[in-house]
């Protein structure tokens, strides 16, 4: 390979370390002609124009590099694609770890009051800045994000994401009943507001709009119908919502939509169950719903820390996989208790253990990277080191803490190393986060951070 004959004149940068990424689902090795996990102990990742240019053995590639290429030495550390968080609420940054409620009380007592503050665009901007820096500090480079129903909350989020060059999904929350009057929109205005925001943000830079009915219980039938219309009118726009998180919620939805065969049927009736649609939680789905998820190509989003914290139940990854339903893993902050995908994978393992189901470290890191990208319909953009993909990646430090370092020293296989990383690692293990090949640093905030507590 000769790197000097590249057409682009922008400089190549190189990162040397232990490269880990996936070319396929480790549970489906037969679908991949090479092992699904790609692992190069002393590897080189080349980046040009913000894209992955090449990967391989450092010993093979270093002699071929053109003169003057800057090689950043991460030896002793793991380089892998940035984490993908399939479901997170940025306005709930300030209610994370609020004590002692189950879902419906938690929404009323903590979430809705916190979200009301996002009527103030300056407040929204300040929280968006903190939130994105916190994601990057934890190694998360893409997320499917819920704002509030306020248009300004979407503008604030996308503007902050665009300043950081991030690939992010977000869209105004739709909520026209069963919520406080100060947090209620109405069906027709929510349609118009969403269409305006799609026009403004969808496809701009790396940003993707997602039509976001909060959940069936907080939308009228007219609002859900218009959500489906938005999706029909704007190809490429995503859909995200919640489903089957909690038994009381499911009973309530049945009361509100007595004609429905099951919870998923409510969304299906209005055209919201479609390829790439993101359904958060999927804990208590019946057989018919699993079958419909599979036939539609919709994604189940697994939020383990939130499901444990709110006592909602145990997601069944084995079932999802068996049914052929794509899965993303997510923090679901602020019902979730950590911004860290490592902490989230840790809890996903325990959820599987409680259900006597298998979930190993290869499953975990696949879902947090390439699997998550695939579930979000972004496998051709992010999630692996395939040539030409956007170069969002992280550097993980096996020596981040004394106990991690001590245990890592005895690890013999990649699988063991990754398991230790997800069970003992957290934000401290993320030594660096790179967005489009550049180290992510906190940009100058446009608004002073003084209003933060
Ligand atoms: Zn949620």
One digit per residue, the tens of pLDDT, for the chain of length 453 reads: 555 445 677 899 999 999 999 999 999 876 556 779 999 999 999 999 999 999 999 999 999 999 999 999 999 999 999 999 999 999 999 989 888 777 788 888 888 889 999 999 999 999 999 999 999 999 999 999 999 999 999 999 999 999 999 999 999 999 999 999 999 999 999 999 999 999 999 999 999 999 999 999 999 999 999 999 999 999 999 999 999 999 999 999 999 999 999 999 999 999 999 999 999 999 999 999 999 999 999 999 999 999 999 999 999 999 999 999 999 999 999 999 999 999 999 999 999 999 999 999 999 999 999 999 999 999 999 999 999 999 999 999 999 999 999 999 999 999 999 999 999 999 999 999 999 999 996 544 444 444 433
**Which residues have a beta carbon within 5 Å of ligand 1, which is an ion?**
332
Distance (angstroms) between ligand 1 centre and the Cα of 330 equals: 9
Distance (angstroms) between ligand 1 centre and the Cα of 75 equals: 38
Angle separating helix axes 187-201 and 151-163, nearest 10 degrees: 20
- The contacts of residue 130 (CB under 8 Å, 6+ apart) are 93, 449, 452
Distance (angstroms) between ligand 1 centre and the Cα of 279 equals: 10
Distance (angstroms) between ligand 1 centre and the Cα of 143 equals: 12
- Ramachandran bin of 228, using left for φ above 0, alpha for ψ from -120 to 50, beta for the remaining angles: alpha
CA pair distance 227, 238, nearest whole angstrom: 11
pTM, whole model, 2 decimals?
0.94
Distance (angstroms) between ligand 1 centre and the Cα of 127 equals: 17
Q: Rg for the chain (alpha carbons), in Å?
A: 22
Distance (angstroms) between ligand 1 centre and the Cα of 35 equals: 34
E strands, 90-182, are 140-146, 168-170, 173-174
Longest dimension (CA), the chain: 70
């Amino acid at each position: 390979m000769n790197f000097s004959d590249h057409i682009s004149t922008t400089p190549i940068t190189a990162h040397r370390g232990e490269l880990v990424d996936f070319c396929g689902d480790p549970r489906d090795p037969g679908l991949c002609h090479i092992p699904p996990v790609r692992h190069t102990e002393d590897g080189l990742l080349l980046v040009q124009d913000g894209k992955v240019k090449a990967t391989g053995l450092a010993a093979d590639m270093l002699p071929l590099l053109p003169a003057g290429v800057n090689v950043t030495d991460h030896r002793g550390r793991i380089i892998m694609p940035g984490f993908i968080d399939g479901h997170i609420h940025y306005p709930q940054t300030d209610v994370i770890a609020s004590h002692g409620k189950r879902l419906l009380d938690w929404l009323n007592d903590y979430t809705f009051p916190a979200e009301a503050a996002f009527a103030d665009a300056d407040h929204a901007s300040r929280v968006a800045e903190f939130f994105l820096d916190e994601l990057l500090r934890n190694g998360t480079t893409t997320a499917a994000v819920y704002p509030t129903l306020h248009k300004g909350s979407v503008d604030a989020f996308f503007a902050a994401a665009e300043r950081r060059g991030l690939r992010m999904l977000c869209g105004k929350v739709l909520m026209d009943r069963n919520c406080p009057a100060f947090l209620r929109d109405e069906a027709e205005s929510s349609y118009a507001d969403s269409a305006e925001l799609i026009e403004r943000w969808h496809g701009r830079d790396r940003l993707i709009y997602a039509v976001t009915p909060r959940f069936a219980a907080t939308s009228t039938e007219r609002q859900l119908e218009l959500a489906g219309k938005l999706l029909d009118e704007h190809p490429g726009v995503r859909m995200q919502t919640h489903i089957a998180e909690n038994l009381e919620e499911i009973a309530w939805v049945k009361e509100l939509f007595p004609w429905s065969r099951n919870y998923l049927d409510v969304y299906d009736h209005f055209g919201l169950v479609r390829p790439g649609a993101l359904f958060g939680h999927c804990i208590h789905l019946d057989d018919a719903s699993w079958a419909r998820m599979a036939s539609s190509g919709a994604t189940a989003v697994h939020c383990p820390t939130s499901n444990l914290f709110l006592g909602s139940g145990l997601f069944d990854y084995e079932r999802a996989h068996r049914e052929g339903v794509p899965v993303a893993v997510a923090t679901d902050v602020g019902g979730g208790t950590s911004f860290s995908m490592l902490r989230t994978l840790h809890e996903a393992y325990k959820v599987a253990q409680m259900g006597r189901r298998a979930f190993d470290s290869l499953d975990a890191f696949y879902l947090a990277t390439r699997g998550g990208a695939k579930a979000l319909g972004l496998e051709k953009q992010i999630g692996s080191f395939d040539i030409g993909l956007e170069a969002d990646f992280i550097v993980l430090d096996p020596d981040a803490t004394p106990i991690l370092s001590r245990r890592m020293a005895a690890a013999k296989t990649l699988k063991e190393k990754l398991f230790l990383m997800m069970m003992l690692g957290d934000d401290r293990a993320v030594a660096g986060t790179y967005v489009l090949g550049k180290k992510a640093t906190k940009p100058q905030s446009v608004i002073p951070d003084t209003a933060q507590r």
